[in-house]
Amino acid sequence: MTDDPTGRSRRSPGGTGGAHRRPTGHEVAELAGVSQSTVSLVFSGKAAGRVSAEVEQRVRHAAQQLGYRPHASASTLRAGRTRTVGLLVPDITNPFLGHVLRGAQRAGRADGITVALIEPGPERNWQLTAVEALNAAAIDAMMLFGIEPPLSDAPGPTVLIEAVADGFTSVLLDVRQGTTAAVGHLLDLGHRRIAHLGTDLPPTTFKARASRWRRELDRAGITATESPEVLAGFSLQAARGAAHQLLSLTPRPTALFCDDDLLAAGALMAAHDLRIPVPDELSIMGFAGTLLSEAATPQLSTVVAPAEELGAVALQTLLRTMDGHATAPRPLPMTLVPRASTAPPQRPSPR
């Protein structure tokens, strides 16, 4: 298995990749020596008169050898039992996820597909329980946002959003590009003591932000001593407490790069607690571009993620995956939006 620049895992040709990986229709076609459309005809019940008995037997034998279990196709979903897709998220209160849901709903509406929002919470065991329960229930497919799927007994048709797992198609934001833009903005303003207020949540997307933040500072010749890091729970108060730790250091950071606008808002609260003016003595950079970044005082500089487009692309990718076209789309780019929370560093005022 190899890694591509976006952080998605790619399977080496012919690799087994672990027992949990679900074989694809493309692999069945290769083994049987037929086209993927022929495999689709066989398992959709439309082979009669279009595929010979010998070819159909060869396809089914190849599927049996690989342990292939066909999913319902997108056409079956459109006319199936419920025409319902579940969007599982770890935290329903995150404002970003409402826009992801809206984008998915709009993309599914033309095909009569309903997207149901489900919150199993951040606890891993309960997430797995929810995935397994929904897989056995009257739901046709799933999109998992920031949730890794089970490592065995893989669920039915599934697309991951902002998460990566071997054997699954992922739809991702280009958080590395977004982080480069955010940290580059702070560097261009003249900051060197750029601390990272991160989150302790496990999804790949947060690890990618942290690694790119460090890489950009390394490239600028900024040491770890000049750029500390503190991880916080994903809440205002947790971010507030973590920011207190960073802002109590000597020398104090002149800028904070935050993993999310929510964490940046918590950092603003901490700066207010400590009477540190923003942006005169402290610049704060958010991430995601939620309405919270505009409602904060001062308004937060951030990198805007196309949340509705992310949801729409995820739903469209799910349908393509169910039709046997499992190529992941390119990561969606993010846009730097400088606002009032960032400025060139200044010498702290006397207390």
CATH number assigned to the domain comprising residue 8:
1.10.260
Is there a single domain that holds both residue 28 and residue 85?
Answer: no
Is there a single domain that holds both residue 253 and residue 166?
Answer: no
Residues of the domain holding 8: 2-66
**In a domain? residue 271:** yes
Least confidently predicted of 17-21, 219-223, 288-292, 310-314: 17-21
Q: CB of 5 within 8 A of CB of 174? A: no
Is there a single domain that holds both residue 205 and residue 263?
Answer: yes
Strand partners, 82: none
Least confidently predicted of 69-78, 102-111, 276-285: 69-78
pTM of the model: 0.74
Is there a single domain that holds both residue 261 and residue 322?
Answer: no
- Please tell me the distance from the alpha carbon of residue 191 to that of residue 213, in angstroms, as a whole number: 14
**In a domain? residue 348:** no
pLDDT digits (tens, 9 = 90+) for 282-311: 999 999 999 999 999 999 999 999 999 999
- Please tell me the distance from the alpha carbon of residue 227 to that of residue 45, in angstroms, as a whole number: 60
Is there a single domain that holds both residue 301 and residue 179?
Answer: yes
Is there a single domain that holds both residue 301 and residue 181?
Answer: yes
Least confidently predicted of 57-71, 123-137, 155-169, 204-218: 123-137
**In a domain? residue 226:** yes
Return the CATH number at 284.
Answer: 3.40.50.2300
The average confidence (pLDDT) of the chain is: 84
Strand partners, 337: 302
Strand partners, 206: none
**In a domain? residue 340:** no
Is there a single domain that holds both residue 284 and residue 189?
Answer: yes
Is there a single domain that holds both residue 30 and residue 42?
Answer: yes
Q: At 103, is the pLDDT very low, low, confident or very high (cuts 50, 70, 90)?
A: very high
Q: What does the pLDDT average to over 313-341?
A: 90
**In a domain? residue 83:** yes
What pLDDT, on a 0 to 100 scale, did the predictor assign at position 14?
Answer: 36
Is there a single domain that holds both residue 112 and residue 62?
Answer: no
pLDDT digits (tens, 9 = 90+) for 53-67: 888 889 889 988 888
Is there a single domain that holds both residue 183 and residue 302?
Answer: yes
* Number of domain units in the chain: 3
**In a domain? residue 346:** no
Q: Is the pLDDT of residue 20 over 70?
A: no
Top pLDDT among 105 and 325 is at 105
Angle at 81 between CA 80 and CA 86, to 5 degrees: 95
